[in-house]
Structures are given as structure tokens and as C-alpha cells.
Structure 1
């Protein structure tokens, strides 16, 4: 079965990447942004990326995925390559941003653009406005996923959740490809992590979620909000943290440990407790989407829930 093969491929690749990284001293050192206490091999996201691209290519040649969707997803390969180089040599912010902009442009081109933006009470169909919105959304998703990849199993578990939720709600074998490509890596990344994903994995996952969002929103405008609800735990934390740091006149480019999941960890919660609790919140978010037919009501309730989560974290560890 293809999914078992993909899981095993990801699992084995991660194992060899881990050993190679240890041999070559390719490790993530402890710094001011770290939530780990010891240098740990990184680059495990290569296994996720290779398995993911092989999996969706199999679907493409089996005529099981829309070609435009496939090409848009494959554009993420450029991002993965540059992100891995960045993992090794720390590229400049300009190079990273240019790569993200190129990949976002390619993705939108292959999808035929972002057709309409449903704001509940009115709809915007101006191609300029909708595509500018989609362009910046892709770049933000790429970066915020990278920001939220900071403790064992967190980024990987989120991808597995989104893959399973997407499969239940929309169908599509590509979601299962994502799930099993990440699960093979996650075995090695679970607390305590023996290897980290690195930018090569986190940026690719952020881009992939953005393409999922736009692709399904083009089918039904309400799907934009469904994906924002499902992905709420990540984008809400990243966006609110950025706003609060801006309001506090902090230097936004400076590394920090102020995201909700990081502060929970600082308060004494182990990595696995944070991740399991996050998956509990995700289950509630999925329930809102699955059981509430009015997407506006579901979105409002999700924001209320997520704000409540942040306030709870504030009580455990102040911002």
C-alpha cells in the first residue's frame, strides 16, 4: 500500500539524515529562541519533503490529483531547497524573502490566481485585491509555520492534524500523503526529539497549507474560513504575538520565546504535554467546522476559543 511505503520511506530517510547530521555536526545549537537544552541534529524536514514530493508525484501520474494543484504544490520544492541551504549557511533575509515571493507567485500562477475573497457580508472579486491578499497570505503562512516550529513534535503534529481534517472534510489522497510523510519523521521528532525538522520542513509545510487554503477556497469561497479555523492555533498565536511585540516597541526581527506554546513550556509544561493539549484544542476547532454549518459563527467561536487559550497561557507565564 502506497501510504505504508511513504511512511517507511520518511522513517528510514529521517534515520539516515539524523546519523549523517550527527557525523557532520549539523546540529541546532541552543540559543535565545530555543526551547531545547542540548544541541540536536536538524534537517529532518528533508525526509518529509522528499516523501511528500514523491507521494504527490505518484498521485499525479496515477491521475489522482488535479494537475494545476500538483504544479502549485511542487513549486514548494524551490522553497525546500533554499530553506535547507539556509539551515546550513544562514542566508540573508532578502534571499529568503525573495525565494518566498517567487514561490508564492508560482503557486498562484499554477492555481490560476485567487478568485474571490468572501468577507461574510460582502465578496471581493477584484483580481488585484484577491491575489495581493493571497500572495501575502502565502508568505505569512510560510513564516508563521517556521515561527511555531520550536518544541518537539509541535509542527509535525499540526501537519498530521491538518492532513486528517482535510481528508475527512474534503477527501483527496494528497492529504493522506502529507499525513504519512510527516508521521515517519514524527517518530524521531517526538519528545525527546532525536532530530529537528529545520526550515526545510517548516517552511514547506506552511506553504503547503497556504496552497490547500487557496485551492479549496477557489472551489467554494467559504472554505477559506474553514482552513483558517483549522489552522487557527498556529496563525492566531503567531499573528497575536507579532502584534503584541509591535505594540511593546520590540524589535520584530529579534529572536524571542514569546509564542504561547513557548511560554507554556517555560511555565513548566513538558513538550509532549504542550503538544497533546494543542491537539485537544485542534479537536475542538475541527468540531466547530464539522458540526456548525454557519462558517461565520464557527469562525467567531474559534477566535473566542483561541483568545481564551492565550489568556490562559498569559496566566501561566506572562508576555
Structure 2
């Protein structure tokens, strides 16, 4: 029942925000980085954030979530608040990174850091190294999700997938709440988007997955790679693009349209077709994780799949 209620809240709030943004002309301006050609309302991520935190509070009150995880997720509200103002006023990158760093440190405090970093044949348990890795992972997940948020339904479908994958694998209600919080927004964003998520939603979602990654890694070290594998479509594209741009001696702060999803749209794929392609990749990745008990093997096969997919994208639209 709680899932239905939260879905309806997210659905309704997104509609209200869309109508208000249209009335006040709060629209995303088309620029050289945009994959859209029509100015469209943004801020739909507010509905995701409000619904998500309502769901978290319900779980906390009904004693259905570990206290440390609850507080680690709760501090993500600060990222949403700052990102909301960034959507409105374009805040300084240094300010955004500073807030993200503070939230990452607070999240790690509540989680107790990252206990072990396993690479199969050896483990690292030095708290400085593991904490630094976890800190950088949180920052990277936050920002790469923001980088990848560019076409209809792309980020929303990814996090509905991750929520459902978490629900199936770990059987916890907060994963269902994550999915329905995003699903209510996704109805208005999936095809011919009527509203965009904005940084207020994308940065929060990236933070949530980073927190889940660390929390479950502390329960079982190999879970770190379970979540990294499940999130593969996004971090692989973002990391591949960053490395290629660095090798090309490009200014990394400069706007670009070189992510895989952007190049597919340049190859005249519709937004829906690109998003559905990503959904297919996610389903294949989940199949590997679910049916192969050895995460090292499923991670390796996922890398093979993602390299194959990237090669396909390069053939459609070369990386220049």
C-alpha cells in the first residue's frame, strides 16, 4: 500500500511542479550541450526527493530501516537543497563540490566508513585508504549521474531499475520506495518529456546509490562489486568519456556532447530508442549478477558487454 501512495504522491507532485514551472517560465534553456531542441520545465527531481524522504521517514518510524543507513541517506537532503538553488541560479562549482564533500563525509560517518576493499585475490583494510576510496566513490557517483542526465527517461529508468534490482537481491522496502519515487516522475519524462529532473534529483539519486554500495559492502565485501556492476551502464559511459576527453587534451570543464547516449542521439536515434537500449543493457547485467554466484565473473562479463556496447556506439557515431 505504501508503494501505491508514494507513487501517487510523486506522480501528482511532478504534475504540479510542471504546471507551476510553465506558468513561471522556469524552463531548461537549450544550449550547445543539450540533447533537446525545445525549452522544457525542470525541477521534477523535487517530487522525487520529497517522495523519497517521506518514504524514508515512514520506514524509520515503523522501524523498517537500519538507523545508520537512515541517517546516511537523510543527509542527502542537503545535496538536493543546494542542487535546487543550483538549478535556479547556477551556483559556483566550488560551492557545489564543497557541499558534496561535506555530505560525503557525513554519510561515511554514519555508515562507519568502508571496512574492507576487496579485489578478489587480496583485500585492503587500511581505514585511510578505504575511506578515501569511499569518499571519492560518493563524489563520482553524484557527479556522473548529473553528467548522464540529458535525454528523456534515461536517468529515471536507470534508477527504477536499480531500485527493483536492490529489492529483488536484498529484499528491503527502501529499494521499492526508491523505484516508485522515481516512477511517478518518469511517467512525465519517459517519452516526449514534459518536465526534466534537474540537478535536484540526479545528484540525490547518485548519492543514494553510493550510500547503498558502501552500506552493503560493509555487510559483505563482495557487495561492493555487485552495486558497481549494476550501476555499470552509467559509470562506464561517464568514465570512458572522461578518459577519452583527457587523452584528447580537451578542457574537462568545457561543455560537450560526447557521452554514448548523446552520440546515439546524434546518430539520429530517438530518445526513447536510446533509453530502451540502456534498459536492455541493464536487464542483461542484472541477469549476469542474479544467475552467476561469482561476482568477479559477472563483473568481468559485464565489462565485456559494456565494451561491446561502446564499440557499437563508436561505429554509429565516432568519438571525436
Q: TM-score, normalised by structure 1?
A: 0.99
1:20 maps to what in 2?
20
Partner SS, residue 188 of structure 2: helix
Once the two structures are superposed, residues 143-179 of structure 1 have per-residue CA deviations (whole angstroms, 9 ceiling, x without a partner) of: 0000111000000000000000001011100000001
2:138 maps to what in 1?
138
Partner SS, residue 190 of structure 1: coil
Q: Once the 2 structures are TM-superposed, how far is the Cα of residue 137 of structure 1 from its aligned partner?
A: 0.4
2:311 maps to what in 1?
311
2:282 maps to what in 1?
282
Once the two structures are superposed, residues 103-147 of structure 1 have per-residue CA deviations (whole angstroms, 9 ceiling, x without a partner) of: 100100011111100011100001100000000000000000001
Distance 1:259 1:231 in 2: 16
Once the two structures are superposed, residues 61-107 of structure 1 have per-residue CA deviations (whole angstroms, 9 ceiling, x without a partner) of: 00000010000000100000000000000000100000100010010
Equivalent positions of 1:83-102 (< 5 A) are: 83-102=83-102
2:50 maps to what in 1?
50
Distance 2:255 2:13 in 1: 30
Distance 1:150 1:256 in 2: 11
Distance 1:237 1:277 in 2: 13
Distance 1:74 1:266 in 2: 38
Distance 1:263 1:120 in 2: 35
Q: Does 1:203 align with 2:203?
A: yes
Partner SS, residue 189 of structure 1: coil
Note the residue ranges of structure 2 that are not aligned, 5 or more in a row. none
Q: Once the 2 structures are TM-superposed, how far is the Cα of residue 199 of structure 1 from its aligned partner?
A: 0.2
2:2 maps to what in 1?
2
Q: Does 1:257 align with 2:257?
A: yes
Once the two structures are superposed, residues 216-265 of structure 1 have per-residue CA deviations (whole angstroms, 9 ceiling, x without a partner) of: 01000000101111000000000010000000001100111100011011
Distance 1:187 1:301 in 2: 32
1:296 maps to what in 2?
296
Distance 1:237 1:209 in 2: 17
Distance 1:72 1:24 in 2: 35
**Aligned residue pairs, count:** 319
Note the residue ranges of structure 1 that are not aligned, 5 or more in a row. none
- RMSD after superposition: 0.5
Q: Once the 2 structures are TM-superposed, how far is the Cα of residue 293 of structure 1 from its aligned partner?
A: 1.2
Distance 1:282 1:311 in 2: 17
